[in-house]
């Protein structure tokens, strides 16, 4: 299946279980992969035949910068469900939410979750 990928969407949010995370906030990075048929878009050169990824960016931004959640799993789920609801051409979506400054007691590169949701 064809796909549209958006990687490294960078936002500032207030998600986390610790009071300090919800007060100070931190950076979150989101990757979105949408699976859909791009054949018509490839033939017609019409935006209506595909997904406007600027609108998908806005969905992720609104959710990550919106209401604080304790778990990034909730953030990923909300993004995935909204994409499936708002973009009828998307058959399946993978959303990864990275929390590179998670409060862990040692050195690390990233803490992240991924959810994969399908229309069926």
Tell me the Cα Rg of the chain. Answer: 15
* Catalytic pick among 3, 43, 92, 99: 99
Contact 3, 35 (CB under 8 A): yes
Find all residues with CB under 8 Å of 2, minimum gap 6, and list them: 35, 36, 37, 38, 39
Strands laid side by side in the 92-98 sheet: 2-13, 26-36, 92-98, 112-118
Whether 99 is catalytic is yes
Angle (deg, nearest 10), helices 53-64 and 72-86: 150
Residues known to be catalytic: 99
């Amino acid at each position: 299946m064809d796909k549209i990928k958006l990687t490294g969407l960078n936002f500032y949010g207030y998600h986390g279980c610790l009071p300090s995370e919800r007060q100070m906030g931190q950076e979150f990075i989101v990757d979105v992969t949408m699976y859909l048929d791009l054949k018509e878009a490839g033939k017609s050169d019409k935006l209506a035949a595909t997904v406007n990824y600027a609108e998908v960016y806005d969905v992720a931004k609104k959710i990550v910068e919106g209401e604080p959640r304790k778990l990034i799993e909730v953030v990923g789920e909300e993004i995935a469900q909204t994409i499936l609801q708002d973009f009828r051409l998307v058959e399946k979506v993978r959303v990864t939410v990275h929390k590179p400054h998670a409060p862990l007691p040692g050195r690390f590169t990233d803490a992240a979750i991924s959810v994969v949701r399908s229309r069926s």
